[in-house]
Amino acid sequence: MISIAVAFVPLALYFFALTAFNSGRCPRMLTGQEDLTVLALGLIGFVMTGPMLYVLPVDALAFWGFYTWFFLAVLYALMVWFLGTVFRFRIVIYNIGMSELREILEKIGREIDSEARWAGNSLSLPTPGIQFYMEHVTLFRNVTLKACGSQQNMQGWIQFEKSLRNALLQHRVAHKNRVAMLMAMIGFLMLTGTATILVTHSAEALQSLWFLLQ
């Protein structure tokens, strides 16, 4: 029974984090690595009670005990970090519409590079050496900026990221994101359901917890 709590509690907290990102009058910006880390933390419970449990080395568990889970968690963190470095550079902006963000990007583009060029939803900034395109999730009012092209200047991305972050802090969104309430309800239902199961089967939950801590 404790595996249910291990799986669903981090996922419920992830939904609460999404609620925070999509609430308020100010957009929230995360780098691709940060966004992937938040997602990985939300899924860590399912990874521990699924793949990790099936590949768990029994001899190591008998020798190291609970510390075996710590080593597996470190391995999981390294895999997440590796995936973050493999993927193309991206920036995720929560709680903002496509048209709102495009206006901000046009202003930043003129400030950074007088040769900034738009092609559809793609923006090229030749001087700092960056190029990206916009992906919009209409339901959640989230926009992802994904690097495109083979040549990308990391210093240019750092400069652009700093300018974008400052601009977003001063921006106020035009519409409230109603999906944030839905995500909060999903997280609350997960926590409530998990607590109900643990209280109803408290003996089995304690037995499962003892097995994990051995």
Residue pair 139/177 in contact (Cβ under 8 Å)? The answer is no
Between these two residues, 34 and 198, which has the higher pLDDT value? 34
Structure tokens that stand for 120 in this block: 């559809």
Cα(44)–Cα(138) distance, integer angstroms: 27
Query: 89: which DSSP letter?
Result: P
The CA radius of gyration of the chain, in Å to the nearest whole number, is 21
Task: Give residue 143's region: left, alpha or beta (phi > 0; psi -120 to 50).
Answer: beta
Pick the closest to residue 105 from 133, 147, 126, 142 (CA basis): 133
- The model's pLDDT over 116-153, given as tens digits with 9 standing for 90+, comes to 888 888 988 888 888 899 988 777 788 999 988 767 88
The pLDDT confidence band at residue 63, using thresholds 50, 70 and 90, is low
Pick the closest to residue 185 from 12, 23, 20, 64 (CA basis): 12
Give residue 99's pLDDT.
Answer: 86
Q: What angle do CA 55, 60, 64 make, to 5 degrees?
A: 130
**How high is the mean pLDDT of the chain?**
83
The pLDDT confidence band at residue 62, using thresholds 50, 70 and 90, is low
Cα(101)–Cα(111) distance, integer angstroms: 15
Query: 44 Cβ partners below 8 Å, 6+ apart?
Result: 10, 73, 76
Q: Is the pLDDT of residue 79 over 80?
A: yes
Taking the CB of residue 96, how many other CB atoms lie within 10 A of it? Answer: 25
